[in-house]
Amino acid sequence: MKNICILGATGSIGTQTLDVIRKENHKFKIVGITANSNFEKLIAIIEEFIPRKAAVVEKEAYLMVKDYCKANNIKTEVLYGMDGLNAISTMEEADIIVTSIVGMVGLVPTLNAIEAGKDIALANKETLVVGGEIVMAAAIKKNIKILPVDSEHGAIFQCLQGNLIDNVSKIILTASGGPFRGKTIDGLSLVSVEDALNHPKWNMGKKISIDSATLMNKGLEVIEAHWLFKMEYENIQVVVHPQSIIHSMVEYKDGSVIAQLGSTDMKLPIQYALGYPSRENAVVDKLDFYNMENITFEKPDNDTFKCLTLAYEAGKNGGIMPTILNGANEEAVNLFLNNEIKFIKIGDIIEDCMNRFGENKKADIHNIIEMDYKVKEYIRKKYKF
């Protein structure tokens, strides 16, 4: 039995991880969980799974959870804040840490988990976007596995099994195109938050749904793929595949292409990451090829969706530039979700910050945290109502 800690247990990936564990409860045991502020959902998880430890980042929510556990004689130890988050990520009895926190806040707990010798089921793409070099170096030094939970990177990981990375000529990341596929720049000028959250294929949290609508999600995945699979950016191609049946592909130097297909359900890559290297019985609906719709592919519209182009640019520049890209995107998405900027403005804000803060600094922890703060503070002062 594997002992599991979930960082971000109340979010979209965390919730689906719990679904997998419910169906495979003889193979996995939850020993630690974290949440930001959703105390009601966290209490329900604690009551069901009785983890040894739980951490809550937001103080009022922490007090609610702690008081509830005490009043109901629940033995789970409740911890507070970033210290609590880091304590969960380094629990001695944990075998694997699921990092499903959204945003750059996942970087330090992931590095701490690696330092503690824990395998990582990585669902927090920002960790590799801003700190790919130091994270991968730490993983190699500690000889731990980083198992991708993103459907696209999980697909690539599967397509590489039994093959040498030196024989790969191209990684092909598929993208659904999001809710605004086919729209023009003018067509995007009046879209609402509700429109942007209405993804046609995937059930995701708010921030990732907006990233999917701008294609920034795919841009972040390009940078993530560069670090996970040691692939140059020129050899990472994005292809729009609206049906989301093929989750990604690998092209080999002889021209052969291996693709991973499956249901549009995040529980599939989650289960594979948790159970690796073995495969378990299906926890998702299997594909029915007799009733499958057409499979089509398109080129992404880089002119309308500039975030994808900006991500490639940031990745190729390297250093601190991906941190600038990511920090600007996080803050711009927050402003849009709060109806303080228009959807079309997200890419413009990111481009502004990349031009303004394009410093050639090394991407170490100090510089990453400092730059993230500078970028977000600049955006709040310039663009917030």
Q: What letters, b where the CB count within 10 A reaches 16 and e where it falls short, cover 66-89? A: bebbeeeebebebbbeeebbbbbb
Question: What CATH topology corresponds to 2-148?
Answer: Rossmann fold (3.40.50)
CATH dotted code for 318-385: 1.10.1740.10
In the chain (385 residues long), the average pLDDT of successive 10-residue segments reads 96 94 90 96 97 97 97 97 96 97 90 97 94 97 96 97 96 95 90 89 82 96 97 98 96 98 94 93 93 92 96 96 97 96 96 91 91 96 84
Q: Do domains 2-148 and 318-385 have the same CATH topology?
A: no
pLDDT for 277 equals: 93
What digits encode the pLDDT tens for the residues 117-153?
999 999 998 999 999 999 999 999 999 999 999 999 9
Whole-angstrom Cα distance, residue 377 to residue 3? 39
DSSP string, 83-145: HHHHHHHT-TT-SEEEE---SGGGHHHHHHHHHTT-EEEE--HHHHHHHHHHHHHHHHHHT--
Instruction: Report domain extents, the chain.
Output: 2-148, 151-264+287-304, 318-385
pLDDT at residue 384, rounded to an integer: 77
Q: Does residue 48 sit in helix, strand or coil? A: helix
- pLDDT of 60: 96
Q: Report DSSP state, residue 76.
A: P
CA distance linking residue 116 with residue 110, whole number of Å:
10
Q: Give φ, ψ of 162 to 5 degrees.
A: 80, 5
CA angle 115–119–123, rounded 5-degree value: 105
- Collapsing DSSP states into helix, strand and coil, what is residue 215? coil
